[in-house]
């Protein structure tokens, strides 16, 4: 995956708060997006780590925009950042599970 675009039906919000107002009563503090270690991702960047960081940040922003567009969340309640290759969940850097988004909910 070398794109920051969200593809309809390609993801699932797990454990999201539903009901009247969507996520209006919950503050999303931050999102982490992780990338894989595929060499094809290097084609436009001087280093794979640089590309991974940029792509990670773009993916986080895509998720933020999706949440803003589809839930009752004020933009000033969302913070995004990407971590590139710095925080893998799995030891194998090519594991698809390392390309993930984490959303932290903090009650007001």
Rounded Cα distance, 49 and 93, in Å:
12
Per-residue pLDDT reduced to its tens digit, 31-83: 444 444 454 443 445 567 777 888 888 888 888 888 888 887 888 888 888 88
CA angle at 81 for the pair 42 and 51, rounded to the nearest 5°: 5
For the chain, list the domains and their CATH numbers: 26-107 (3.30.1330.60)
Q: Are the CB atoms for 48 and 23 separated by under 8 Å?
A: no
Asked if pLDDT for residue 4 goes beyond 70, the answer is: no
CA angle at 1 for the pair 76 and 105, rounded to the nearest 5°: 30
Q: What is the pLDDT of residue 53?
A: 84
The token pair that represents 11 in the structure block: 């993801």
């Amino acid at each position: 995956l070398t794109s920051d675009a969200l593809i309809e039906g390609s993801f699932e919000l797990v454990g999201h708060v539903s009901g009247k107002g969507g996520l209006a009563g919950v503050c999303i503090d931050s999102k982490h997006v992780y990338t894989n270690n595929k060499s094809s991702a290097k084609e436009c960047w001087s280093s794979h780590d640089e590309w991974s960081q940029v792509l990670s940040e773009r993916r986080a922003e895509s998720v933020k925009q999706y949440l803003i567009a589809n839930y009752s969340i004020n933009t000033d309640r969302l913070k995004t950042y990407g971590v590139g290759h710095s925080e893998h969940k799995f030891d194998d850097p090519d594991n698809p599970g390392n390309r993930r988004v984490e959303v932290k909910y903090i009650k007001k």
